[in-house]
Structure 1
C-alpha cells in the first residue's frame, strides 16, 4: 500500500510540474546574453503575464509555442515514477522529486538553445545541497551529505578544467556539475564515477550517430547537458536500488 501511494504521488507530481515546463522552456531558450522571450514567434504577447514563468504554453492569439506539452509531461512523469520506485520511502526521494522537473527543464533548454541558464543551474545546485542536508538528518536517509558536498565541488572543478582545455564543454556544464556531483555523491564515489561515465558515453554515442548519419562534422558542438543529466539519472537509480 505504501509503495502504491508513493508511486501515485510521483505520478501526480510529475504531471503537475511537467505541464508547466513548456512556457519557461520557451522563454529561456534564447542565445546567451539575450533577454527572455515575452512574445511568440509571430510577435503576439504570451498569454497571462508575458514576463511570468507560470501560465499556459500559448500566446494571446491562441497559438501554442515551445516544446510540445505531451512528451515533456510524459518524460517528467516517467522520471518521477522511476525515482519513486527505486528510492521508496527514504527521505531523499523528496529531494529527487523536487529536482526532477528542473532537470527536465534544463535538458529541454539545452537541447533547444545549447545553453544552461544560471537562473536554473545555480538555484538547483543550492537546493540539492540544502535539501540533502535536511534529508541526512532523518533516520532512514540512504546517503552521505559530506560526500555529496565534496563530490559537487570536485566534479565542478574537473568540469572547469575540461572547459578550459576543451572547446566541446560550455561553462554552463561546469555549473551543472554542482548539481550532478551533489546527487551522485549522495550515494558515494562509485556512483559518481558510474553516473559521470554514463553521461559521457551517452553523449559520445549521440555524437557518433550524428557523424555516421552525416548530420554533423568533427567540429560540430552538441548540447551535452541532456546526456550528463541522463547519466546522473541512471546513477541515482542505481544508487537507490
Structure 2
C-alpha cells in the first residue's frame, strides 16, 4: 500500500511540479505548463515516488527521500531548459533530507547511517567545489551544490562505495548524452551541456541497485 500511496501522491503533485519547473526556468511567476508537460511530469513523479517508497519502506527517512525525488524532477527540467539548478529547490531538499536522516537515526537507531550520510555529503560537496575552482568550465556551481544532498542520500544508503557508483553512473550517462547530442548535431565539442540530470539519474540508479532496505 505504501508504494501505491506514494504513486498517487506523485500523480497529484505532477501538475504542480510542472508549473514550478516552467516558472523557475522562465523566471516568470505566471508561467503555465502545457498539458503534455504536466501529464509527463505526473507520470514520472508517480513512478519515481512509488519506486522510492518500495525501496525505503515505512521509516522517517522516507519523507526526505520523497522530497528530494520531487525536487529532482524540477531540477532536471529546469537544468535541461536553462542550464541552471535553482538554490530555492536544492537547499530545501537538502534541509528536509538532513532532518529526516536525523529523525530516522533517533527513531530507528540508524546513527551510523546518519553519520556516513552527513560526512559523505560534505565530502562530495567539498571535492566538487575544489574541482569547480580548478576547472570552472567543467562543473557548474549548481552541480556542486546538488552533490551535497545526493552525497547524503547515497552515503546514508550505502556509504562510500554507493556514492562512487552513483557518481560513476552520472558521469557515464553525461558522457553518453553528450555523444548523442554530437551525433545529432545538437551540440558541438565545446558546447555546455546540463550535468544535473545525469547526476540525478545516476544517483537514482545507484540507489535502486542497492535494493530495498
Normalising by structure 2, what TM-score? 0.91
Aligned equivalents of 2:211 and 2:149: distance in 1? 17
1:153 to 117, 122, 129: 122
Alignment size in residue pairs: 210
Which deviates further from its counterpart, 192-201 or 94-103? 94-103
- What is the match of residue 3 of structure 2? 7
Which deviates further from its counterpart, 143-152 or 197-206? 143-152
- The Cα shift of 1:138 comes to 2.2
| Contact 1:195-1:235 at 8 Å conserved across structures | yes
2:162 to 191, 211, 220: 191
- The Cα shift of 1:27 comes to 1.2
1:23 to 13, 19, 37: 19
Unaligned runs of 5+ in 1: 31-35, 41-56, 58-63
| Contact 1:148-1:183 at 8 Å conserved across structures | yes
- What is the match of residue 87 of structure 1? 56
Aligned equivalents of 1:169 and 1:224: distance in 2? 8
1:80-104 C-alpha deviation (Å, 9 max, x unpaired): 1111222233433232112211111
Aligned equivalents of 1:207 and 1:15: distance in 2? 31
Describe the shift of the 1:209–1:235 C-alpha distance in structure 2 as closer, same or farther (beyond 3 A): same
Structure 2 residue matching 1:20: 3-state secondary structure? helix
Unaligned runs of 5+ in 2: none
| Contact 2:173-2:202 at 8 Å conserved across structures | yes
- What is the match of residue 46 of structure 1? none
- The Cα shift of 1:26 comes to 1.2
